[in-house]
Every structure is written in structure tokens, then in C-alpha cells.
Chain A
Amino acid sequence: MTKPIVEYKDVHKSFGDVEVLKGIDLDIFPAEKIAVIGPSGSGKTTIIRMLMTLEEPTDGDIIVDGKNLWKMDKHGKMVEADEKHLREIRGDIGMVFQHFNLFPHMTILENCMTAPIHVKGEKKKEVKKRSIDMLERVGLGDKINNYPSQLSGGQKQRVAMARALVMRPKIMLFDEVTSALDPELVGEVLEVIRDIAKNDDMAMVLVTHEMDFALDVADKVLFLDDGVIAEQGSASDVIEHSENPRVQEFLSRFRS
């Protein structure tokens, strides 16, 4: 049996007095596609933000490829991880944000090229070729010299995906990537994710409100409710056949 690439072990997270996550245990296997669904405020986004090192867990461990993400060994004692330790592990993880967060002062191509060159120290020529290939793959080969402000929301989000992909992460995180888009632009973004999910062998975790889409691409669906994983299983088990009343109530809001 293959080893999980990410393990959450009894992970808790509080913001002030509010405990958002109340003990998360989760294994993510290489190439696995996981969809995280659940009511807003249930802590879905926090789960992936902790893996991206944007939030620090209050308690528990996150193990990435056998290494503890938030703790490190110092003279035989486990202490809080420093930035150097985080940077070593973080390179395996990529993220696409709800609000794109493209760099507005760079062209689309520069947005894709800057990290591989400055973070990984790769050769400019090779990075440029790979970036252009990636932008063509997301359907923006004719926009490489445009600035983000000249693109639609859907196009921006596709650039954000290309930017994350050129870094060749082992795990890609998608944080409600279609929530900020106009309805008519959602399809083009989902299409790109579907293409990545079917053809690339990295693990993916998608926080999403698109149930049909989750059903289509996800190997596993997690239903998060009130800070715990209330239900998990194959997409059809959770979305179509769940007996859990909370799941049914939640899903009923998506069926008209």
C-alpha cells in the first residue's frame, strides 16, 4: 500500500476563543483528488490554508512526505518550525486562491515565470518555454503579454492555475476558486481543473461549492460540519447516497 503524502493528525485550530477545527484526521495519497464540501464557516478553507502554511494549527500535527510541517527537531526537542524549515517543505505545495491574487505589476507571462526563476533558480529560457506551454494549456496563449487588469475573472483564475502549476507541486490546493466569478465564467475554470485532474498525477484538494463538479472529479469527498469531518467516502457515497441528515440538509440547498 502506498504511503500518504499528507497526514493530518488530530489537528485543531482556534481563532481567538472560537475553535474552527476540532480535531481533523485525514490522509491524502499521491495523485488523490479530494473535494471538501460543507456549510460556510465549517472550517473548509482553514484546512488547506494550514497546509499552505498561511495559518498555524493550534494543536496537532501535519505531516508532509514524512516531515512534520509545523514542528522541527532542534537538539532532540520538537520546537515550532522556523521559516527555513517551512520553505523546505512548502515547495511541494501549490495553491489557487478565491480572489486570484495575481501580481498586478507583472504581465501574465512574468506572473508565471517569476517564482521558478527566483525561488527554484531555474534557467530563464527553460522557464519561459514551460510557462508559455502552460498558459496555452489553460487557453491563454494569446494573452501572455497582457497585464492581469486586462483579463476577465475566469481568465485571471486560469492564469493563477498556470502560475501554480509551473512550480510543479506535488499537492495542489484550490480554495473556492470559482466563488468570486460571474456565473458564466465558472465553466471555463472548472474545465481547466477537470483537465488537470484527469491528466496530472499530483494530489489535489478542492474546497468547493460545485457539487456536480466534485462528483465528477473527486476520488474522495469530505463533508465538514462544525469543525469536524462529519462524513467521508467516495463522491457518490457522500453526495448521492449519504444517510447523514446534516449532509442531506446541506445538499438540499443545491437542488432546486
Chain B
Amino acid sequence: MNYWSFERFFEAWPYILKGLHITVGVTISAFLFALFFGLVWTFLRRIPERHINWIVTWVMEFIRSTPPLVQLFFIYYAWPEIPIVGVTLSPFASAVVGFGIHFSTYIGEIYRSGIESVENGQWEAATALNFSLLDKWRLIILPQAFPPTIPMLGNYFIIMFKEVPLASTIGLTGILHMANSFGSEHFNLIEALTIVGIIFLVLSYPSARLIKKLEVKLNTRFDKNRVIEPIE
């Protein structure tokens, strides 16, 4: 076992953990960004105008069909080169915007399936009681559409968390980046990358269990068999 040194292994931990708040910070910020933008997509798609609908659908499709890594490169390297609208963003901001926009298209789809899972009778009852359009959404539709989407949103949160290391390629100093620099200083990457793996496992697995629990709980609270099926 010349390749593996426990000494190095324990030495690497504090060094790598210094990047944890960046990795987690990007994940949470990008997810909040995606939650908000997902809502924007959802309402844009509901505009009853054929051309707008077509454009929105294809823009979403385009964002979803291009790799997040390419989008990160574009935002970080190419965007500043564009005249007038070009802005130079820090690696952190680029990652938040990049992952946020990429995942907002998936989240928009989740919202849509949540809204469509609300029976038409609910809209009719709300009309019969003479609710305004805003109150229909606020009081009747969204409170029913949102809870069944929570497990799916949780899954995407974990998926996004696992994508964030991609941003080390644009210099984001998250745990992967820290592990890499520790490894190159010590001419050995095994311990450092193992630690990155352990950190992801320790954070992802309990989150996945928590989401599973939440899913069961929500299904019993809402009598209906309204489980949102995964898209794709």
C-alpha cells in the first residue's frame, strides 16, 4: 500500500473541507434561482399565444439539450466577449447562473405536471364560487399543485449537487478543486479524491432518504393518488 497514506488522508480533510461551503453554497443558490426561473417558464408556457408558446418551448428544449459544462464555459468565457450585454462574472456567480438556468427548465416541467395534476373540477368549483384569477391560483390551485412536486424537486436538488464539481473547470474553489490542488501539491490524488467521494456520499444519501420519507408522508396526507411521475 505505497499509494495510500493515512497520514495524507487525515491531513487532506481540513484542506478539502475549506471548499465545502462553496460547493454547498452554489448548490443552494443555483437551486433557489432554478425554483424561481422554473416558475417563470411555467407561466410563459401558459400564455395562450401560439408563437410565444413555440419560442418558449424551443428555448427550454435547447437549454435542456445542451450540456451544462458547455453552458458554464459559455457564461464564464464567451459571454464577456459579447458587446453591450457581455458581463464578466466570478466563477461562483457563473456557476449559480449556469446551473440555475439549466435546471430551471427541468423544474418548470415539474411545476407544469404539478399544475396539470389538479383536476379540472377544482378550477370549475373556483369559478362557481367567483374567485378572481389570482385567488384561484393562490388559494386553490398552487396549494394543491406544489406538495406532490416536492419529492421530484428534492431529487433534482441532489442531482444538481452532484453536478456542481463541473464548475471546478471554470475555477470554482469547491471541494473538487481543493482536492485537486491538495493532490498536485503532494503528487498523489488517491486520498484527496476518495475524500471528495465520501463527502458526496455522506451528504447525498441522507438527503435522498429524507426525500423518500417526505414522499411517503405527502402521499398519505393527500388522499388522492396524485404522485407526480418523473419526466423524460
Binding site for B on A (CB under 8 A): 52-54, 83, 87, 90-91, 93-95, 97, 99-105, 114-115, 118-119, 147, 149, 163-164, 167
Contact = CB atoms under 8 A, between A and B. Distances in A.
A91 B223 contact: no
B122 interface: yes
* Chain B: interface size category: 20 to 34
Contacts of A95: 128
**Interface-central residue, B127, B143, B223, by most chain A CB under 10 Å:** B127
Contacts of B131: 115, 118-119
B132 interface: yes
B224 A104 contact: yes
User: Which 5 pairs show the lowest CB-CB distances between chains A and B?
Assistant: A149-B223, A101-B125, A101-B121, A115-B129, A95-B128
Contacts of A97: 121, 124-125, 128
Q: What's the dominant secondary structure at chain B's contact region?
A: helix
B139 interface: yes
B202 interface: no
Interface in B124-145: 124-125, 127-133, 135, 139-140, 143-144
B122 A115 contact: no
A101 B122 contact: yes
A115 B129 CA distance: 6
Contacts of A99: 121
Most buried by A among B125, B135, B139, B224: B125
A128 B174 CA distance: 55
Interface of B: 119, 121-122, 124-125, 127-133, 135, 139-140, 143-144, 222-224
Contacts of B130: 87, 90-91, 115, 119, 167
Contacts of A164: 128-129
10 contacts: A54-B127, A54-B128, A95-B128, A97-B125, A97-B128, A101-B119, A104-B224, A119-B131, A119-B135, A149-B223
B50 to A, nearest CB: 19
A118 B139 contact: yes
Contact of B144 (A87, A94, A105): A105
A101 B131 CA distance: 15
Contacts of A94: 128-129
A164 B125 CA distance: 9
Contacts of B121: 97, 99-101
Contacts of A105: 143-144, 222
Contacts of B224: 104, 149
A118 B135 contact: yes
A72 to B, nearest CB: 17
Nearest to B135: A118
Given A87-B130, A90-B130, A149-B223, A103 B125 contact: yes
A104 B121 CA distance: 12
A103 B140 contact: yes
A64 B87 CA distance: 59
Nearest to B140: A103
